């Protein structure tokens, strides 16, 4: 695991975009799993602008969804799917066949999980997984106590996630369950990047980097991944001493 700290959100985002571009240049048919959420917003803006300007070809890549709120339609502006569509898929002009997302409205969610597991294994696994971190240390919707050997699954969201998750929605939502890739997907991905920005993430980042590795704080398992990077801005790294500045 490497930890890189950047002076601000803009520099962090540029460097995360660089990593995604490097991955796709090395492997044009890469399988990418890119998180939704506020943190990677500028990364995607940078990425898609550079893709246009520098002619970076994403047309052979496959994109798989990380997570989704159960019961929220894909076209709801607060859904992860809508976010990815708006900030990545449309700007990159991807074709439908390149994109595989959870349908969190499906009546058979178990089947959604199985389909996603098969797509990922059929493509030979995930090349790059870019994840954010929840205020409770979750990764995707792998909540505290998640199983280390889990693939895609449906879970009950914990109270922190239910509350914090409201920020993505215009109207009050009942956010009770999530569907997510598992920690085994994370550990099997060829490269993992965890990003965090802002002082509100400083406390959980301290636990993630300095606390024991435990699924009680799912983000800590990133430390055991052989090719992982934790990329932070100064504000998120505030309570961790002794980190090298990038
Ligand atoms: C959300 C999502 C995660 C996301 C994380 C951080 O609830 N389930 O996939 O990475 O929490 O989100 P944000 O970047 O908005 O802080």
Average pLDDT, the chain: 97
Q: Is 0.85 surpassed by the pTM of this model?
A: yes
Q: Which of 68-72, 134-138, 184-188, 239-243 has the lowest mean pLDDT?
A: 239-243
Q: Look at residue 73 and tell me if it is in a domain.
A: yes
pLDDT at 246 over 70: no
CATH of the domain at 170: 3.40.50.1360
Q: Look at residue 43 and tell me if it is in a domain.
A: yes
Q: Look at residue 218 and tell me if it is in a domain.
A: no
pLDDT at 150 over 90: yes
Q: For residues 151-159, give the mean pLDDT.
A: 98
Nearest CA to ligand 1 atom 2: 140
**Residue 146 is part of which domain span?**
9-199
pLDDT of residue 83: 98
Q: For residues 163-168, give the mean pLDDT.
A: 97
**Catalytic residue (choose from 19, 103, 127, 143):** 143
Q: Look at residue 77 and tell me if it is in a domain.
A: yes
pLDDT of residue 242: 82
Give the distance (Å) from ligand 1 centre to CA of residue 134: 5
Question: Of all residues in the chain, what percent carry a pLDDT higher than 90?
Answer: 97
Give the distance (Å) from ligand 1 centre to CA of residue 39: 8
Q: Look at residue 226 and tell me if it is in a domain.
A: no
> Which tens digit of pLDDT belongs to each residue from 185-225?
999 999 999 999 999 999 999 999 999 999 999 999 999 99
DSSP the chain: -EEEEESSHHHHHHHHHHHHHHHHHH-TT-EEEE--SSTTHHHHHHHHHHHHHHT---TT-EEE--EEETT--TTSTTSHHHHHIIIIITTTT--GGGEE---TT-S-HHHHHHHHHHHHHHTTS-SEEEE---TTS-BTTB-TT--TT--SEEEEPPHHHHHHGGGG-SS-----EEEE--HHHHHHSSEEEEEE-SGGGHHHHHHHHHS---TTSGGGGGGG-TTEEEEEETTTTTT--SPPB-
8 is a catalytic site residue: no
**Catalytic residue (choose from 4, 68, 87, 138):** 138
Q: For residues 67-89, give the mean pLDDT.
A: 96
> Which tens digit of pLDDT belongs to each residue from 129-141?
999 999 999 999 9
**Catalytic residue (choose from 19, 67, 68, 233):** 67
Pocket test for ligand 1, best of 132, 133, 140, 236 (most atoms within 8 A of CB): 132
pLDDT at 243 over 90: no
pLDDT of residue 241: 81
207 is a catalytic site residue: no
Q: Look at residue 205 and tell me if it is in a domain.
A: no
Number of domains the chain contains: 1
Pocket test for ligand 1, best of 16, 37, 41, 153 (most atoms within 8 A of CB): 37
Q: Which atom of ligand 1 is nearest to the CA of 40?
A: 14
Find, among 119, 117, 155, 149, the residue nearest to 136 by Cα.
155
Q: For residues 2-24, give the mean pLDDT.
A: 98
224 is a catalytic site residue: no
Q: Look at residue 145 and tell me if it is in a domain.
A: yes
pLDDT of residue 207: 97
Give the distance (Å) from ligand 1 centre to CA of residue 201: 11
Q: Look at residue 241 and tell me if it is in a domain.
A: no
DSSP 115-149: HHHHHHHHTTS-SEEEE---TTS-BTTB-TT--TT
């Amino acid at each position: 695991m490497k930890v890189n700290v950047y002076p601000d959100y803009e520099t962090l985002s540029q460097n995360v975009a660089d990593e995604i571009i490097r991955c796709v240049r090395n492997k044009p048919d890469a399988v990418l799993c890119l998180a939704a959420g506020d943190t990677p917003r500028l990364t995607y803006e940078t990425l898609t602008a550079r893709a246009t300007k520098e002619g970076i070809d994403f047309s052979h890549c496959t994109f798989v969804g990380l997570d989704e709120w159960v019961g929220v339609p894909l076209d709801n502006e607060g859904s992860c799917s809508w976010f990815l569509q708006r900030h990545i898929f449309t700007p990159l002009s991807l074709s439908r066949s390149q994109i595989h997302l959870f349908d969190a409205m499906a009546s058979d969610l178990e089947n959604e999980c199985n389909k996603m597991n098969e797509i990922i294994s059929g493509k030979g696994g995930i090349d790059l997984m870019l994840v954010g971190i929840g205020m409770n240390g979750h990764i995707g919707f792998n909540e505290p106590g998640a199983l280390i050997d889990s693939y895609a699954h449906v879970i009950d969201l914990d109270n922190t996630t239910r509350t914090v998750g409201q920020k993505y929605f215009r109207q009050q939502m009942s956010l009770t369950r999530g569907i997510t890739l598992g920690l085994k997907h994370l550990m099997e991905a060829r490269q993992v990047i965890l990003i965090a920005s802002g002082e509100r993430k400083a406390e959980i980042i301290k636990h993630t980097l300095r606390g024991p590795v435990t699924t009680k704080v799912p983000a800590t398992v990133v430390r055991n991944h052989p090719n992982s990077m934790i990329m932070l801005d100064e504000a998120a790294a505030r309570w961790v001493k002794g980190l090298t500045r990038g």
